[in-house]
Amino acid sequence: MAERRRRLELTWIGKEERLRLEPGILLEDTALSYQAAKRVTDHDLLDNRMIHGDNLLALKALEQEFAGKIKCIYIDPPFNTGKAFEHYDDGLDHSLWLDRMARRVELMRTLMADGGVLFVHLDQEEVHYMKVVLDEVFGRPQFLGQIAYERSGVSGIGQGGAFLVNTHEYILAYTKDRSRFSAADLQGEGPLEPSAMKRYNRVLVSPGARREVARFKAPSTGEPVVIYKHSGFDVQSISLRDFERRKEKIDAEYARHFAAIFRLTSIQKENEFQNRIISHCKDGFFSADYLVSRGKSKGERTTLYYMDGQAAVWLRDTAKLVDGRVVRTGKQSDFWAHADIPKANLANEGDVDFRRGKKPEFLIRRLLKLVTEPGDWVLDAFAGSGTTGAVAHKMGRRWIMVEMGDHCRTHVLPRLRSVIDGSDRGGVTATTGWRGGGGFRFFNLAPSLVEKDNAERPLRAVAHAGPWALAAGGVGAEVP
């Protein structure tokens, strides 16, 4: 036997004992398939798939139709914490857990489009081991990043004996082919914190009248830069005194004066152009008109403001008004704070009770918005309470979900029906403008051809003769 090529890898008991998977067969149950009573739009999506059965066999069964077609896969597998959830057996042996996950992500990779993305949602127990497994399956260059999701604040956690209070979960992101991957320029949103208010607390009530005091030619464009000094201007401050008691009033002040709020910042010594302007703006309130030479505003004329030798930076450039409140914006980071993802009514989202296992609809929306477009296929092989399908449906994405537990019928189906009927008013419904429509097809996975042990190793064939028995024998089962 040729010596196996040595490589850096994570190993576990049973890793090399890979047997061929039996063919998975999906059988539609039309009695459980569901469609809206009437079309809501011309773009209603009807061919979504809900599969009840073992996700390993279901993923294999999807290969023929969906290989290379799935744009985004999100999975929130059992965390292997040793604490049994009501709806999951979450206490798998470490090696067994790794083996099961490795087999599944290998199939998921086959289903993914070249520029598709896999999100794996885990806690601190297995995330680092899973990172190594995913490096092996996808290749380290295909690693896109790790999101730290703050699921809750420190207070009320109930971890009195913990060395450090655990408030985070993690989402690993991989693509199938980085050269084919592209992501939306997703802007992060968050509340305007008191620390930001302390900086942005000046309001330009009126710029007053202005007169020219200097001009020069911009080196980059040759166009004139005209500097004005203002008289009769009115700049006021927003008081943050007694912040906690006056918070509602302060928030209203920021919303009312939003377009006129600014802070002052010093110009770096290396910025010769801005320092030349500043040299004329030492005492009082000033503005400068000039032609922008680079960046997204290249070729446009702009007016910048200066006060007492510093430049004015406007809050409106890094924030926006949403429903009458100021929200900070910026390039999405890999830290997703508890306060940034609405979850106040999480227990009631979808009108299903799935304690400790349900993820916020706004979390799934953020992930899908980052890497998918309407009409793309989204897959969740650990459907849980059905959040991924519900959110994908509301966002106009096509979806496939797999769930083997009884809650497939007791939780997921009722939730999906309410989304389609338009009676689900929670979660991201208002944000997406969802009004109902579409449908899904319900499939059962045909009974397994073989009996397996707890490690998913074939023991014996269920069929005793004919082609089914031959197929069972082909995956390593004992055929009587």
Query: For residue 15, is it within any domain?
Result: no
Amino acid 107: pLDDT = 97
Task: Express each pLDDT in 269-309 by its tens digit.
Answer: 889 999 999 999 999 999 999 999 887 788 899 999 999 99
Count: domains in the chain:
3
Task: Express each pLDDT in 389-417 by its tens digit.
Answer: 999 999 999 999 999 988 899 889 999 99
Which band of pLDDT confidence, cut at 50, 70 and 90, is reported for residue 468? very low
Task: Express each pLDDT in 311-363 by its tens digit.
Answer: 999 999 989 998 888 988 877 889 988 877 877 677 778 767 666 668 899 99
Residue 464 shares a structural domain with residue 421: no
Task: Express each pLDDT in 27-51 by its tens digit.
Answer: 999 999 999 887 777 777 889 999 9
Beta bridge partners of 263: 313
Domain region containing 275: 194-321
Report d(CA 202, CA 313) in Å as an integer. Answer: 10
* Secondary structure (3-state) at 142: helix
Residue 241 shares a structural domain with residue 343: no
Task: Express each pLDDT in 125-171 by its tens digit.
Answer: 889 999 999 999 999 999 999 999 998 765 555 555 667 888 899 99
Residue 237's contacts (CB-CB under 8 Å, 6 or more residues apart) are: 201, 202, 203
DSSP string, 380-441: ESS-TTTHHHHHHHHTT-EEEEEE-STHIIIIIHHHHHHHHHT---STTHHHHT-----EEE
DSSP string, 357-383: TPPPHHHHHHHHHHH--TT-EEEESS-
Amino acid 396: pLDDT = 96
Query: For residue 338, is it within any domain?
Result: yes
Rounded mean pLDDT, 109-125: 96
Amino acid 118: pLDDT = 98
* Secondary structure (3-state) at 471: helix
Q: Does the pLDDT value for residue 211 go beyond 90?
A: yes
Q: Does the pLDDT value for residue 91 go beyond 60?
A: no
Last residue of a domain, one of 321, 348, 369: 321
Residue 32 shares a structural domain with residue 172: yes
Report d(CA 133, CA 127) in Å as an integer. Answer: 10
Residue 50 shares a structural domain with residue 174: yes
Query: For residue 474, is it within any domain?
Result: yes
Q: What spatial distance separates the first Cα and last Cα of the chain, rounded to whole Å?
A: 31
Average pLDDT, the chain: 86
Q: Does the pLDDT value for residue 259 go beyond 90?
A: yes
Which band of pLDDT confidence, cut at 50, 70 and 90, is reported for residue 208? very high
Q: What are the b/e assignments for 294-312, b being 16+ CB within 10 Å? A: eeeeeeeeeebbbbeeebb
Q: CATH no. for residue 43? A: 3.40.50.150
Amino acid 182: pLDDT = 87
Tokens of 140: 């380290």
For Cα atoms 383, 386, 392, give the angle at the middle one, nearest 5 degrees: 105
Query: For residue 386, is it within any domain?
Result: yes
Short-list 196, 209, 206, CA closest to 260: 206
φ/ψ of residue 124, rounded to 5? -70, -15
Distances (CA, A) of 308 to 70, 199, 257, 264, 276: 57, 16, 22, 9, 14
φ/ψ of residue 134, rounded to 5? -70, -35
Q: Does the pLDDT value for residue 479 go beyond 50?
A: no
Residue 40 shares a structural domain with residue 182: yes
Short-list 72, 78, 166, 22, CA closest to 403: 78
Task: Express each pLDDT in 66-78 by its tens digit.
Answer: 999 999 999 999 8
Q: Does the pLDDT value for residue 177 go beyond 80?
A: yes
The separation between CA 253 and the C-alpha centre of its own chain, rounded to angstroms, equals 32
Query: For residue 93, is it within any domain?
Result: yes
Residue 30 shares a structural domain with residue 164: yes
The 3-class secondary structure across 267-280, one letter per residue, is CCCCCHHHHHHHCC
Residue 228 shares a structural domain with residue 307: yes
Q: Does the pLDDT value for residue 19 go beyond 80?
A: no
Q: Does the pLDDT value for residue 467 go beyond 50?
A: no
